[in-house]
Amino acid sequence: MRNAHFKTTLLAAASLLAVANVASAAEVSIYTTREPGLIQPLLDSFSSSTGIKVNTVFLKDGLAERVASEGESSPADILMAVDAGNLVDLVDKGVTQPVESAVLSEAIPAQLRDANGHWFGLSMRARVLYTAKDLDLDAVTYEDLSDPKWKGKVCIRSGQHPYNTALIADYIAHYGAEETEKWLTGLKGNLARKAAGGDREGAKDILGGVCDIAVANSYYVGLMRSGSGGDEQKQWADAIKVILPTFKDDGTHVNISGAAVAKHAPNKDEAVKLLEYLVSDEAQKIYAEANYEYPVKAGVAADPLIAELGDLKIDSKPLTEIVANRKAASELVDKVGFDN
């Protein structure tokens, strides 16, 4: 009798051990072009709350090419990148698969995710205007940037940079290529210097009196004003006011960081769990604090340095439509000699 009880106890213990082993074996693998310092806190938080191990491969570029070359043997479960164009490229290269998730659909506005569930926006940055503090300007539209009254007053980086190509593509989505060419020609005529440099140089040049207005991304405001970029950048940020421009009949142009589930994901269920975690209130708050990006989920507060810029009304054009205009936008940049 005692032997039978001992065997039963051993079997129960073995079963528990097997369950524990299965649980500890749960994992998900990410290939990402995002910086480790930004994404790691989110992944650590996910593992802590779910017990699912996250394996991460950080890449500078070549994300789609690497996954495509690995084929069916790829260990990648999630592909994470910045810029909607890069996410669409993943779909075009056939390395993603569709996902149906009520959690993702409810949390992410429709224009910030693929209509067929191949990719999902997880955080946003807005294309805003830095302006001189003494400039009498509290509201402006993107259309206004071509107004001759701003001749010699505007700074911006290369028109071929993805940040600006996306904005120009959005303009095409609103008005078509012909009107966009006129707008781009007018904007070129208003430049204070050659279209070049980075977004933060716009703030630097406003402080230096080179220009009164600079087109730049919102999250750099947080990076500069927080002091994380050093005292010099904080001085640049202290010299500017920030305006959230809009299209005349719409909202502010935004781009995203986002992710997709890999076509041959070995751990699809865990991958979906991670995506759903990344749009939770907890993760969206970490996104907002880590890189001063806007949460995609309504009701989650942006970092105070970004929230003080004002209420963000995002443009209604689907990112897929904007991305489809990228080639035309790039061609217009060359046609009007925007970067010359």
HEC profile of 224-263: HHCCCCCHHHHHHHHCEEEECCECCCCCECEEEEEEEEEC
Instruction: Report whether pLDDT(12) > 80.
Output: no
Query: Domain-by-domain residue ranges, the chain?
Result: 27-124+256-300, 126-252+317-336
pLDDT 10s digits, 164-188? 999 999 999 999 999 999 999 999 9
The phi and psi torsions of 202 (rounded to 5 degrees) equal -60, -45
Q: Do the annotations mark residue 31 as ligand-binding?
A: no
150 pLDDT above the threshold of 70? yes
What does DSSP assign to residue 182? H
What pLDDT sits at residue 290? 85
Mean pLDDT value across residues 190-205 = 97
C-alpha triplet 164, 38, 129: angle, nearest 5°: 30
Confidence of residue 36 (pLDDT cuts 50, 70, 90): confident
Q: Which own/partner contact pairs does 18-26 have at CB distance under 8 Å and 24+ positions apart?
A: 23/51, 24/51, 24/53, 26/50, 26/51, 26/52, 26/53, 26/267, 26/270
Of all residues in the chain, the percent with pLDDT exceeding 90 is 86
List beta partners, residue 314: 252
Q: How far is CA 170 from the centre of its chain?
A: 16
Phi-psi region of 92 (alpha: psi -120 to 50; beta: other; left: phi over 0): alpha
Give per-residue pLDDT as tens, 248-259. 999 999 999 999
Question: How many Å apart are CA 328 and CA 332, to the nearest integer?
Answer: 6
The answer to whether the beta carbons of residues 262 and 67 sit under 8 Å apart is yes
- Across residues 239-268, what is the average pLDDT? 97
Q: How buried is 110 (Cβ within 10 angstroms: 0-12 exposed, 13-18 middle, 19+ buried)? A: exposed
In this prediction, residue 25 carries a pLDDT of 61
pLDDT (average), residues 215-233: 95
**Side chain identity at 277, as an amino acid letter?**
Y
**What is the SS3 assignment for 162?**
helix
**Distance between CA 298 and CA 234 in Å, rounded?**
30
pLDDT at 76 over 50: yes
Whole-number Å distance between alpha carbons of 269 and 25: 13
Checking if the pLDDT of 3 tops 60, the result is no
CB 158 within 8 A of CB 195: yes
Fold annotation for 126-252+317-336? D-Maltodextrin-Binding Protein; domain 2 (3.40.190)
Predicted local confidence at residue 38, as pLDDT? 83
Quote the mean pLDDT of the chain.
Answer: 92
Q: Which CATH superfamily is domain 27-124+256-300 in?
A: Periplasmic binding protein-like II (3.40.190.10)
Both tokens assigned to 327:
């080639």
What pLDDT shows up at residue 15?
Answer: 41
Q: pLDDT tens digits for 272-325?
A: 999 999 999 999 999 898 889 999 999 999 999 999 999 999 999 999 999 999
pLDDT class of 61 with cuts at 50, 70, 90 = confident
pLDDT digits (tens, 9 = 90+) for 111-149: 999 999 999 999 999 999 999 999 988 899 999 999 999
Average pLDDT over residues 60-77: 94
Neighbouring CB atoms inside 10 A of 28's CB total 28
Confidence of residue 16 (pLDDT cuts 50, 70, 90): very low
130 is in an annotated binding site: no
Tell me: pLDDT of 17 over 80: no
